Chains A and B, each alone.
Chain A
Amino acid sequence: MTKNMIKKLAEVSYTKEKLDNKKVKRISRSLGREDLKVYIKDLKTMEAKKTVIVTVATDKGLTDIKSYFNKIYPSKRVVFTIDESLLTGIRVVDFDNIYELSLKNFLENAVGGSLND
């Protein structure tokens, strides 16, 4: 089976934007070991594409942030995490794009820049 065919199988494993357990089981039973590995990888990539991870420093105002991001990404699953090392600010990971506005990042740049200069 070609990689493109397996990719199509991964695409049809979704029903209404959600991974369909029944379809996945059926497809995975019919695939060989090598093809199954590719299939799982494709599913993981598709999941990553459909998921946005929002990281904040504290849980303060998390409800507002949640509703804000759910509006921005209506067709994606938004996952919220807390990372105190950000100090303050936010980090959004949308598949292979990372947007970050945090005090940690600023300090790293400021100190890094000073040392380089």
Chain B
Amino acid sequence: MINEKNIIEQLEKNLMDWNTNPKTQNVGYVEKNTDGVIVASGLSLVTMGERVEFENGLSGVVLNLDEDYVSIILLGDGSQIKQGDKVTRTGEMLSINVSEDLLGRVVDPRGEPLDGKAKIKKGKLMPLEKIAAGVVEREPVDTPLKTGIKAIDAMFPIGRGQRELIIGDRGLGKTAIVVDTIINQGNFRKSGSKLRPVVCIYVAIGQKRSTIAQVVGRLNESDAIDYSIIVAASSSDPAASQYLAPYAGAAIAEYFLEKGQDVLVIYDDLSKHAWAYRQISLVLKRPAGREAYPGDIFYLHSRLLERAVRLNSKNGGGSITALPIIETQANDISAYIPTNVISITDGQIFLQSDLFNSGFRPAINVGTSVSRVGGAAQTGAMKSVSGKMKLELAQYAELAAFSQFGSDLDAATSQALERGKRTYEMLKQPQYSPLTEAYEILSIWAVTNGFLDDIKIDDIGRFEQELHKFVKRSHEKLITTLSNGEKVNESTTKELEKALTAFKKVFK
């Protein structure tokens, strides 16, 4: 609480270091206010991307520099700004105040709290726009980032520092995958792994407030909020906020990166980000290109995703893993924005509506999904079991297409088809129930080694659940061995066989 004594002390302090240099200001005057974009005259010294302030305290960012005018996007409600209002240059680039206090909070792209709690005061100002780390500071991706989803961790592994796109139509579970991944980082922390815990940042761009509230609620329920930060620019927020949100997320991530921590940033979703930028660009009268997007739409996403990094030990050894999300229309991954982001990222997980509707969830299309660098980050244990599964699934896909034409199948083909069906069934996983690597390996090993061949397809889910419980109860050592991440050797194989045989005797 401020009192007279404090005020006098502060005044005395200010008097002591009274600066006799004159206060200099570079000002401009509002000429036009249209759709959240202000055109102002003056401001001859202002730079691109600089923050400016209006008389009523509202901030804006300079996005266009013309000969006589500057165009400013507003970071708030601009209905009160009128022609002739004074705009002052601040000399600061747009930045966000970041500290550890931000963990567990929901903020807007300027760092203003949206969760009704107090504003974060002390922290470091991190610039929203920053050139990504150079080649010399980087290191190849070699550490896994576990999603807890069997299909992803086995076939499209994600490494710390990777950029993996999650793409698919609306309502296919893109957000569910990333929420599961965040929740799984909590399981990872509890498991006492040697790897560093991951700080999660979820950036919601142009989403419904109810959807954002659902994600926050889910993270709260699973205590994942404690190590997460949510940056939200909902669909009712100005386009400028939606445009800045992912950069704010990246700036927060860079704060933790500087401290040598591992960070996961989720951009949900970049399609809406592109829409927001298109809206701003059209209002700014920039030339429109394909689908009315501006010419620098590729750079918009490439400069953002390039900030995902795995730093070498000289530079702290931290990492930023980016999981951008793109929403497609009618499964069309060859549209403008999807192809752009596919080419920028190190792989994509493609969710398909046919699979979703047939009950295969997560609805990952194994054929079109890929992880270009994550393989190097996969543990020896997972690598040794997932290789066989990938091969069997590829064979199944080929045989399934052929088997549609003929009724007589030889035994080997029938067996491969049955195995494939069971493998697909095993890869199904309910929402919000990520698995640790040991249980993922256990399930995959069981199906690829024929232990599920005589189990009815409808019973596979129950078989898997009960198997996990059984092994946890009576073969705890096996779980510890599998958690080490070392390649499955002969003795572990024997242990697995023993556990599976024992379980099958009791499974009804």
Contacts and interface: CB of A to CB of B under 8 A. Distances in A.
| Physical interaction between A and B | yes
Interface of A: 45, 95-101, 105-106, 109-111, 113-115, 117
A73 B42 CA distance: 20
A114 B7 contact: yes
A115 B23 contact: no
A96 B11 contact: no
Contact of B26 (A45, A96, A105): A96
16 contacts: A95-B44, A96-B42, A96-B44, A96-B45, A97-B26, A98-B25, A98-B26, A101-B21, A101-B22, A101-B23, A106-B18, A109-B14, A111-B7, A113-B14, A114-B2, A114-B10
B10 A101 contact: no
Nearest to A49: B44
A29 to B, nearest CB: 25
A11 to B, nearest CB: 13
Contact of B27 (A96, A106, A113): A96
B271 to A, nearest CB: 36
Nearest to A110: B14
Interface in B1-26: 2, 6-7, 10-11, 14-15, 18, 20-26
A5 to B, nearest CB: 14
A96 B28 contact: yes
Given A45-B68, A97-B45, A98-B24, 15 more contacts: A96-B41, A96-B44, A97-B25, A97-B44, A98-B26, A98-B27, A99-B24, A99-B25, A101-B23, A106-B18, A111-B7, A111-B11, A113-B10, A114-B10, A114-B14
Give the interface size bracket for B toward A. 20 to 34
A24 B67 CA distance: 23
Contacts of A45: 41, 68
A61 B44 CA distance: 32
Nearest to A90: B22
Given A45-B68, A96-B28, A96-B42, A117 B23 contact: no
B6 A114 contact: yes
Contacts of A111: 7, 11
Contacts of A101: 20-23
Nearest to A3: B68
B22 A110 contact: no
Nearest to A105: B23
Contact of B22 (A95, A96, A100, A115): A100
A100 B14 contact: no
A110 B20 CA distance: 13
A106 B19 CA distance: 9
A30 to B, nearest CB: 23
Contacts of A95: 42, 44
Nearest to A114: B10
A7 B11 CA distance: 49
A23 B45 CA distance: 32
Q: In this complex, which of A96, A115, A117 has the most chain B Cβ atoms within 10 angstroms of its Cβ?
A: A96
Nearest to B14: A110
Contact of A117 (B10, B41, B42, B68): B10
Contacts of B325: none
Nearest to B24: A99
A43 to B, nearest CB: 13
A19 to B, nearest CB: 19
B43 interface: yes
Nearest to A98: B25
A109 B68 CA distance: 31
Nearest to B68: A45
B88 to A, nearest CB: 9
A100 B68 contact: no
B62 to A, nearest CB: 14
Nearest to B25: A98
Interface string B31-66: 000000000011111000000000000000000000
B23 A99 contact: yes
Nearest to B42: A96
A76 B240 CA distance: 40
Contacts of A106: 18
Contacts of B20: 101
Nearest to A109: B14
A30 B224 CA distance: 71
A97 B22 CA distance: 12
B42 A110 contact: no
Nearest to A112: B14
Contacts of B43: 96
Nearest to B11: A110
Nearest to B28: A96
Contacts of A109: 14, 23
A106 B20 CA distance: 10
Q: In this complex, which of B7, B20, B43 has the most chain A Cβ atoms within 10 angstroms of its Cβ?
A: B7
A113 B11 CA distance: 9
Contacts of B41: 45, 96
Nearest to A4: B67
A85 to B, nearest CB: 15
